[in-house]
Amino acid sequence: MPKEQFTDAIALLKADHRKVEDLFTRFCKTSGKDRKWQLAQEICNELKIHAMIEEEIFYPAFEGKIDDDLYHEAYVEHDGAKVLINDVLANGPDDAFFEAKVTVLCEEISHHVKEEERPKDGFFAQARETGADMVALRDRLMARKQELMAQAENGGLPPAQMAAVHLEAA
């Protein structure tokens, strides 16, 4: 996946969003348990990689530069998704709540994507307003994503970790 395929960091992250949306759609249209499990694993790996590159590189680049509430919500939404991701992967397709968990994960991700991509005041719009070098950021995101994809293929990713950001009570 050449970096030139994505004009900047936001284009790369939006492409990830579209890929996961497609995987969720395929999951919903599939009936076989084995195929659903395969798709759920792919969804979870894509989401783990996406969350890691956002939390390690993209989000920190905008700390203090975008709305604090939106910044904090992004991490909290990731953590909520990680709980479901870890549960789905740990319990597998024989879990009585397997499909319900994937459905709720889809709903949570859909909400998160809408907040990030909201045209005027979403995370991406605010990030773009900062004037940050989105091409350099894309290159860092892509390099880390390629590392994580290789790790996923060569033994797998560890369970999703909760964000290192600890929000203090006001």
Specify the pLDDT at position 170. Answer: 37
- Give this prediction's pTM: 0.91
Question: How far is it, in rounded angstroms, from Cα 93 to Cα 150?
Answer: 25
Specify the pLDDT at position 5. Answer: 78
For the stretch 103-132, pLDDT in tens is 999 999 999 999 999 999 999 999 999 999
Cα→Cα distances 106→57, 93, 150, Å: 24, 16, 25
State the average pLDDT over residues 138-155: 94
Specify the pLDDT at position 165. Answer: 52
Domain residue extents for the chain: 7-153
- Per the model's pLDDT, the better-predicted residue between 164 and 47 turns out to be 47
- Per the model's pLDDT, the better-predicted residue between 6 and 78 turns out to be 78
